[in-house]
């Protein structure tokens, strides 16, 4: 099956994909800030540069795009595999998932707790409760 956009358009779409400060990440940060939490962003001294880090609590949050990190939940409406150039995409997604697993394991080896929030979970009503349960009470 052919791609539904031209090669040039696809190249522009791919070039526009960001590694940090994505819409889902910004939404989680706004939610956390509104709940009273303070955190650090993209700590280069931590494996995988977590999107959100609570250094004193040793808690790391990754906000993953369902497409790029291939969310395996069958109910996820976003995660799909392109039907063209499948060999490239299979390798790309396998590499991304392996890297995610390495980073999570390295953080856990350092004594950190890790939570992954998927793009499709951002609008869920219970996300705030899930984050609060993971992080713990706010500090005043």
* 8 occurs within a structural domain: no
Residue 15 — pLDDT band, cuts 50, 70, 90?
Answer: low
What's the pLDDT tens digit per position in 39-73? 999 999 999 999 999 999 999 999 999 998 999 99
Number of structural domains found in the chain: 1
* 3 occurs within a structural domain: no
Q: Please say whether the beta carbons of 28 and 21 come within 8 A.
A: no
Q: Does residue 95 surpass a pLDDT of 60?
A: yes
* 10 occurs within a structural domain: no
* 90 occurs within a structural domain: yes
* 112 occurs within a structural domain: yes
Q: Please say whether the beta carbons of 46 and 113 come within 8 A.
A: no
User: What integer pLDDT is reported at residue 84 of this predicted model?
Assistant: 85
* 52 occurs within a structural domain: yes
User: What integer pLDDT is reported at residue 80 of this predicted model?
Assistant: 86
Domain with 83 in it: 17-135
Q: Does residue 2 surpass a pLDDT of 60?
A: no
Residue 67 in tokens = 């497409």
* 1 occurs within a structural domain: no
Residue 72 in tokens = 């395996």
* 6 occurs within a structural domain: no
Of the candidates 69, 59, 62, the residue with the CA atom closest to the CA atom of residue 42: 62
CA distances 7 to 3, 12, 14, Å, are: 8, 9, 10
- Residue 126's domain is classified under what CATH number? 3.40.960.10
Q: Does residue 132 surpass a pLDDT of 70?
A: yes
């Amino acid at each position: 099956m052919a791609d539904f956009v031209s090669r040039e358009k696809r190249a522009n779409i791919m070039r526009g994909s960001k590694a940090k400060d994505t819409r889902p990440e910004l939404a989680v940060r706004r939610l956390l800030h509104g709940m009273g939490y303070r955190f650090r962003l993209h700590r280069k001294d931590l494996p995988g540069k977590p999107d959100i880090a609570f250094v004193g609590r040793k808690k790391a949050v990754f906000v993953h795009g369902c497409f790029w990190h291939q969310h395996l939940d069958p109910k996820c409406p976003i995660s799909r595999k392109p039907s063209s150039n499948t060999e490239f995409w299979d390798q790309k997604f396998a590499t991304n998932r392996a890297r995610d697993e390495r980073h999570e394991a390295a953080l856990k080896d350092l004594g950190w707790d890790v939570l992954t929030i998927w793009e499709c979970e951002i609008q869920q009503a219970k996300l705030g409760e899930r984050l609060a349960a993971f992080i713990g009470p706010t500090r005043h």
